[in-house]
Structure 1
Amino acid sequence: MRKILKSVALIFTLMASLVLLSSCGAKGEVKNIDAWDQAQKTDSITWGVKADTKLFGLMDVKDSQIKGFDIDIAKALTKQMLGKKAKANFIQVTSQTRIPLLKNGNLDAIIATMTITKEREKVVDFSNSYFDAGQSLLVKKGSSIKSVKDLNKPGTKVIGVVGSNSVENIKKFAPKAQVIQLQDYAQALTALKSGQGAALTTDNGILFGMAVDNPNYQVVGKAFTKEPYGIAINKGQGQLKKHLNQALKELEESGEYNKLVEKWFGNIAGFDYKEVER
């Protein structure tokens, strides 16, 4: 009886090993799949988007839909590339999770306020820029902080978000300041309101979105960096990159791009959306 049980246990062990090996192989195949070919077959594209960033991608609690400029651009690009009946699928990401999700094959592309940088280009490929932002500061009205230079003092605390390019930038422009890094923009704004820092820093478009819902806070100083946003895709996806750039160009030429810019940024006080018009 013991011999029979040992034999059965051995068979189950072998079967489990085979299943594990096959699943590992499948995962590798997902990573190496031709994203453009798959998009044509499914008539859809899966996008990684933010859900905590007003104006670009924010969850609407009324209908549980993520809405914003990035969302509308993704929908427009999907239809431009695949036809009017094509579907844009969305998966929520953060600054920390967006690249891992892309590399694991969960996403076809990321459109989530992601600045094109040389460091990121070592890991992913980018489309042409679809939005030209610039880093700035959000402070409480009446604050003595008027520009990034005012932060460059020992003991001055600045709030940023982990995984965003703005954290490294503030270290260059205000090296004496102490940077507090939090997980997302909601936490960062809460920290600013509770007085944990003198300013919150990230791209101006994101900050103006925060200021809309928080009238006691304002964006100060001119943008002190250039932050061109790009659509990130996996390495080796040349066809998808080609079609993304072509579709983006067509949206700009048709005037649809500028309509979306005006829709989301045209009425934001202090933000000159014409600077990003194409």
Structure 2
Amino acid sequence: MKKLLLVAAVLSSIAQVSQAQEIDGTLKKVKDTGSITLGIRESSGPLSYLDANQKVIGYHIDICYKIVDAVKAKLKLPGLKVAEQAVTSQNRIPLVVNGTVDLECGSTTNSADRQKQVAFAPTTFVTNVRMAVKKASGITDLDQLGGKPVATTTGTTSVALMRAHEKGKSIDFKEVYGKDHADSFLLLESDRAVAFVMDDNLLASLIANSQNAAQYAIVGPALSTEPIAIMLRKDDPQFKALVDDTVKGLMKSGEINKLYAKWFTSPIPPKNVSLNFAMSDALKNAIANPNDNPVEAYKK
């Protein structure tokens, strides 16, 4: 009898060790705390932004909540609490790295440099970096920006892309920075800048929801074609596999196409206007061939 009890105790101990080994990294953190934290952007429409009631909504928010559902199922925690932490272009990576944010659901470009610090889900959006201007300015290209103030958002790569572009290398423009995309657009709106350089989808969203959308235009060459993806912590293979499998599942089932249509080609809050932003061939390819390739792969 003692031998049987001893064997049972050993088997129980082995089972507990095995179970402990099954969950680690972010999944263990979430299980232990009963909570997962999403990093959200307040003005990165239509990926992640606030509606008229200050509730965060958007394409990447919907995808992140699909991942949350997968986490609930994996950990058998239907009552898992979801916290939302506002992040900016400047602090989004540090907050993922230090564990404050578990999933960053904004508008972050996947780059080789950033991959040294964080990991990315498969690409769920592909953007072109261009510039928004007021039509009355007559500005249509980079070579018209000499000596003029150009807005961009702190913590983004837009100005560097302008200076690296063939037309931008010899142009002496003044950089003015907004703390977030809404603040940067306000610089253009209030004539403190003649152009705002950013991802074209973000520009389209800000213009569509401005007081006078008809006075703005998105112009100039595409400075860069960039894969946008949800961020998570690096060196966390269990959580990365769950995130990747969830996103790939949305792609395989076609559900991601429905989410895209909901946010990019249908009327959306707060003004119930449509961006009429058709899916690009680059995104269609990323959905057909899921990957977490950095922006450098798009330049080859």
Give the structure-2-normalised TM-score. 0.74
Task: Look up the match of 2:162.
Answer: 170
CA contact (8 A) 2:205 2:275 kept: no
Q: Cα distance, 1:120 vs. partner? A: 1.3
C-alpha distance 148-77 of structure 1, shift in aligned 2 (>3 A):
farther
Counterpart for residue 259 of structure 1: 258
Contact 2:130 2:199 survives alignment (8 Å): yes
Q: Percent identity?
A: 28
Aligned with 1:116 (options 90, 93, 110): 110
Q: Tell whether the 8 Å contact from 2:162 to 2:223 is kept in structure 1 after alignment.
A: no
Change (3 A) 1:251 1:81: farther
Aligned to 2:132: 138
**Match runs of 1:26-41 below 5 Å:** 34-40=25-31
**C-alpha separation between the residues in 2 aligned to 1:169 and 1:221?**
13
Letter in 1 for 2:68: T
Q: Does 1:78 align with 2:68?
A: yes
List gaps (5 residues or longer) in structure 2: 1-23, 267-273, 288-300
Give the drift of 1:254: 1.0
The Cα of 1:222 is off from its aligned counterpart by 4.8
Decide which moves more: 203-212 or 238-247.
238-247
Q: For residue 191 of structure 2, what is the amino acid of its counterpart? A: G
CA 1:274/1:87 → structure 2, altered by over 3 Å: closer, same or farther? farther
Aligned to 2:176: 180
Structure 1 residues 213 and 107: CA distance shift in structure 2, 3 A: same
Closer/same/farther in 2, CA of residues 228 and 87 from structure 1, 3 Å limit: farther
- Secondary structure at the aligned position of 2:192 is classed as coil
Q: Is the 8 A contact 1:48 1:110 kept in 2?
A: yes
Alignment map for 1:1-278 (pairs within 5 Å): 34-40=25-31, 45-62=36-53, 64-83=54-73, 85=78, 88-151=82-145, 153=146, 155-173=147-165, 174-175=168-169, 176=171, 177-214=173-210, 215=213, 216-267=215-266, 268-269=274-275, 271-275=277-281, 276-277=283-284, 278=287
Letter in 2 for 1:272: A
Q: TM-score, normalization: structure 1?
A: 0.79
- SS of 2:106's equivalent in the other structure is coil
Count of aligned pairs? 243
Q: Deviations over 1:218-245 (max 9, x none)?
A: 2224533111112222222121112111
8 Å CA contact 1:43, 1:82 repeated in 2: no
RMSD: 2.2
In the alignment, structure 1 segments of 5+ residues that lack a partner are 1-32
**Preserved CA contact (<8 Å) 2:127 2:226:** yes
Partner of 1:142: helix, strand, or coil?
Answer: helix
